[in-house]
Structures are given as C-alpha cells and as structure tokens.
Amino acid sequence: IYFTFIILSIVSCKSEEKEVKKSTTPNVPVKNPEGLKIAFYNSDSLKSKFTYVANQLNIITQKQNDFESEIKKKESKFKNFISRNEKRAQNGELSQNEIGSLQQKAQEMQQNILTFQQNKAAQIEQETIEIMGAISKKIENYASEFCKKNKIDILLIHGQGGQFGYIDDSMEVTNEFINFLNAKQKD
C-alpha cells in the first residue's frame, strides 16, 4: 500500500512539473524573414551630411573653443600678475605685508580660475548631453517616419566599430535617409 502511494505521489509530481514547464513557454509570433524589408544607414554620414547634426556639433565645438580661450585669458592674466609682482618684490618695492596680501590675491585668482574651469566644463558637458539627446531623439523619430513611408521593417545603423561586420550594399539607404532628415528638418 505504501509502495503504491509513493509511486502515485511521484507520478503526480512529475506530471505537475511538466504542466508548469509547458505553461511558462511564451507564445511569440514569428514573421517570415523573406517578407522583411531591412535597410541600413552609415552613422558617420550624419555628422557631415545631416545639417542639423553638423550645426549642433559646431555649436558644441564653438562653446568648447570659447571656454578654452577664456581659460587661456584668465591664466595669462594670472601669470602676468605673478610675474609683475615678483619683479616688484625682487626690486624691494614691496613690504612684507604687501607681499602677503599679493600672495593671498594670487591664491584667490588661482582658485577663481579653477572654480570657473570646473563650473563651465560641467555646464558645457550638460549642454552637450542635452544636445546629443535631442539629436538622438530627432533621428529616432524621423527614422520611424522614414521607415513607415518606405515600408522598411528594420533600419539598422552601421558604423565603424559597430555591431555589424558586414551588410550588403544593396540594403544601404544612407543618402535617401539623410535627404529625408534634411527635408524634415527644413519643415
């Protein structure tokens, strides 16, 4: 009797396991790959041919150049201050109190340069992140519209160091996509 009971328990547990395994398998519809329309564009072309991206990257570059120029001016002013006052100290034109005061001013100038550099760099970095996010979102939205208009199921991004080692050239729509992007941006 016990032997029969144990066998029934084992059989019922195994049948429950099988039911659990069957119920966890998702039902995923599969589309016939022969019916897919797949295309790609070269991401490197966006920088040079999509005017919106080129303009935004120029804005970022100009801000970085202005920042570097501003830092150079501040550092030059600081070096001139130090040089001028070192000469005065060497010529005996300054008292100990004046030297102490000038050293304190030099430290303040140096700290101001450092603070400006950190704050402005953080600001430019944040602006760059926002601009790049806006660019990505714009391209994503336009890509969706481009694909719907041209009945493309999958639009891949191809670029150096990307995930695709090879894509047949017959699938390339870079020029068409960039022309579409520029037209949409004009609108």
CA angle 140, 141, 142 (to 5 degrees): 95
Report whether pLDDT(16) > 50: no
The mean pLDDT of the chain is 84
Per-residue model confidence as pLDDT tens digits over 54-105 = 999 999 999 999 999 999 999 999 999 999 988 988 888 888 898 899 999 9
Q: Which residue would you say has higher pLDDT here, 63 or 35?
A: 63
| pLDDT above 90 as % of the chain | 49
Q: How confident is the model at residue 26 (pLDDT cuts 50, 70, 90)?
A: low
Q: Which pLDDT belongs to residue 31?
A: 56
Instruction: State the distance between the two ends of the chain, measured CA to CA, in whole angstroms.
Output: 84
Q: How confident is the model at residue 19 (pLDDT cuts 50, 70, 90)?
A: very low
> Which runs of consecutive H residues, i.e. helices, occur in the chain?
2-23, 44-49, 51-90, 96-150, 174-186
Per-residue model confidence as pLDDT tens digits over 123-132 = 999 999 999 9
